[in-house]
């Protein structure tokens, strides 16, 4: 994908948003931390349960409002799909493996990378993460073999305390091996979790997710789901006005709010449509008896799909999009929807 000009980060913590505004945005390179989707960012800023997937340690007040932080992607950075967002289809074994949930999400979950070959960088980080995972398993097995509970060991002091009754020779042996493994884990963590930052001057907005803004984004979401015509100019004007009129919002000096919001609304529509098509594609696979896995083969994504109901849904959509006056508001999306819905219906009808 082409790196976008602007991205958004939804945070449920007001403190985190204030820190980003003052110091810039820091994240793990390759980790899903930004998005091209304003609807998704609004959800992150308003639904505290999403915070379970956050690395932030800030406390959240019961009535605390989050923020939608909007940033410019600097020239020395790229934004692309995050690590572990791919899915592989094996027609012979009828399996979809990989990270099917994140694959469906498309541009909802993006990551920041240092400039360079993003595809190769993503592979390197994924490989390092797997090697770090293997080292963590090795460390836990080693402790378990020596009658030490790995869940209780967070530091060297914890380990010293856990083996205090062991004889001196055993203590030295365990501590030496543990230090070797910890050194390997520390070095591998640098490869698996490299840091990347967007400097403070690229932080353009910090937006309070008000009910008025949520209502307008909800209206946009409904139109996209119904494949109705979206007047991007009108949505850009109205959302920009909502943001500019709220004095609680931070706006960078001299910022053209309308340009930034118009750009993000375009990517929001693209993201939501891609997500919709990919979700339908997975449903077609389910009707054909495919096993849909998530996180490699660690989880099975269970969902019952009625083949006839899915066929009727796709046929209804096909009638709508083949009409001469069909126009969702972007010609590229019109073509994308037409091509993919026809393809999915053919796949559903032709394969057993």
pLDDT digits (tens, 9 = 90+) for 60-104: 555 567 899 999 999 999 999 999 888 888 888 888 888 887 788
**pLDDT at position 14, please?**
84
Same-domain check for residues 110 and 231: yes
Boundary (domain end) residue, out of 171, 192, 213: 192
- Residue 13 within a domain: yes
Mean pLDDT of 47-59: 58
**pLDDT at position 12, please?**
67
Same-domain check for residues 109 and 217: yes
Question: Which whole-number Å values give the CA distances from 238 to 5, 35, 174, 212, in the listed order?
Answer: 21, 21, 64, 10
Same-domain check for residues 40 and 109: yes
Q: In the β-sheet with 203-207, what is the strand arrangement from edge to edge?
A: 6-11, 67-72, 203-207, 250-251
Query: pLDDT of 182-226, one tens digit each?
Result: 999 999 999 999 999 999 999 999 999 999 999 999 999 999 999
Query: pLDDT of 293-326, one tens digit each?
Result: 877 666 666 788 999 999 999 999 999 999 999 9
Residue 43 has pLDDT above 70, yes or no: yes
- Residue 145 within a domain: yes
Say how far apart CA 156 and CA 348 lie, in whole Å. Answer: 57
Q: Kindly report which listed range (64-73, 236-245, 259-268, 321-330) carries the lowest average pLDDT score.
A: 64-73
Same-domain check for residues 136 and 185: yes
Residue scoring higher pLDDT (352 or 139): 139
Residue 162 region by backbone torsions, left for phi larger than 0, else alpha for psi between -120 and 50, else beta: alpha
Same-domain check for residues 173 and 219: no
**pLDDT at position 59, please?**
52
- DSSP-based three-state secondary structure for 28: strand
- Residue 282 within a domain: no
Mean pLDDT of 263-281: 95
Query: Ranked by mean pLDDT, which of 2-11, 87-96, 134-143 comes out on top?
Result: 134-143
Token reading at 48: 């505290």
**Phi first, then psi: what are they for 335, rounded to 5°?**
-65, -45
Same-domain check for residues 32 and 60: yes
Mean pLDDT of 113-137: 93
Residue 54 has pLDDT above 70, yes or no: no
First to last CA, the chain: 33
**pLDDT at position 98, please?**
82
- Residue 109 within a domain: yes
Same-domain check for residues 175 and 229: no
Same-domain check for residues 159 and 12: no
Average pLDDT, the chain: 90
Boundary (domain end) residue, out of 162, 192, 222: 192
Residue 274 has pLDDT above 90, yes or no: yes
- Residue 258 within a domain: yes
Same-domain check for residues 75 and 211: yes
- Residue 48 within a domain: yes
- Residue 273 within a domain: no
Mean pLDDT of 163-170: 94
- DSSP-based three-state secondary structure for 173: helix
Same-domain check for residues 110 and 214: yes
Token reading at 263: 């750009």
Look up the domain containing 53 and give its range. Answer: 6-82+105-114+195-267
pTM of the model: 0.86
Same-domain check for residues 109 and 229: yes
pLDDT tier at 352 (50, 70, 90 boundaries)? Answer: very low
Same-domain check for residues 201 and 251: yes
Number of domains into which the chain is organized: 3
Boundary (domain end) residue, out of 192, 211, 228: 192
**pLDDT at position 317, please?**
95
- Residue 129 within a domain: yes
Residue 49 has pLDDT above 80, yes or no: no
Say how far apart CA 226 and CA 7 lie, in whole Å. Answer: 25
């Amino acid at each position: 994908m082409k790196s976008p000009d602007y991205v958004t980060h939804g945070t449920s913590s007001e403190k985190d948003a204030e820190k980003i505004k003052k110091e810039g945005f820091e994240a793990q390179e390759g980790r899903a931390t930004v998005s091209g989707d304003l609807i998704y960012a609004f959800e992150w800023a308003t639904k505290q349960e999403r915070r379970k997937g956050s690395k932030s340690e800030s406390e959240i007040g019961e009535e605390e409002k989050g923020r939608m932080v909007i940033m410019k992607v600097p020239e020395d950075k790229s934004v692309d799909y995050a690590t572990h967002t791919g899915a592989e289809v094996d027609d012979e074994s009828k399996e979809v493996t990989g990270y099917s949930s994140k694959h469906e999400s498309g541009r909802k979950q993006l990551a920041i990378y240092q400039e360079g070959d993003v595809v190769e960088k993503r592979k390197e980080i994924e490989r390092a993460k797997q090697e770090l995972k293997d080292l963590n398993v090795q460390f836990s097995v080693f402790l378990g073999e020596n009658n030490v509970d790995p869940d209780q060991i967070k530091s060297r002091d914890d380990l010293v305390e856990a083996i205090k009754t062991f004889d001196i020779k055993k203590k030295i042996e365990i501590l030496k091996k543990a230090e070797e493994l910890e050194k390997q884990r520390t070095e591998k963590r640098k490869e698996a979790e490299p840091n990347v930052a967007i400097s403070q001057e690229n932080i353009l907005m910090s937006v309070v997710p008000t009910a008025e803004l949520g209502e307008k984004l909800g209206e946009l979401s409904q139109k996209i789901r119904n494949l109705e015509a979206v007047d991007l100019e009108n949505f850009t004007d109205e959302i920009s006005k909502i943001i500019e009129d709220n004095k609680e919002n931070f706006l960078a000096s001299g910022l053209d709010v309308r340009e930034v919001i118009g750009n993000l609304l375009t990517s929001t529509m693209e993201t939501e449509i891609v997500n919709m098509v990919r979700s339908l594609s997975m449903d077609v696979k389910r009707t054909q008896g495919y096993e849909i896995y998530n996180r490699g083969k660690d989880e099975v994504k269970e969902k019952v799909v009625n083949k006839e109901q899915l066929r009727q849904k796709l046929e209804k959509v096909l009638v709508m999009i083949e009409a001469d006056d069909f126009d969702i508001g972007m010609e590229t999306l019109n073509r994308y929807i037409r091509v993919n819905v026809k393809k999915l219906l053919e796949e559903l009808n032709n394969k057993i």
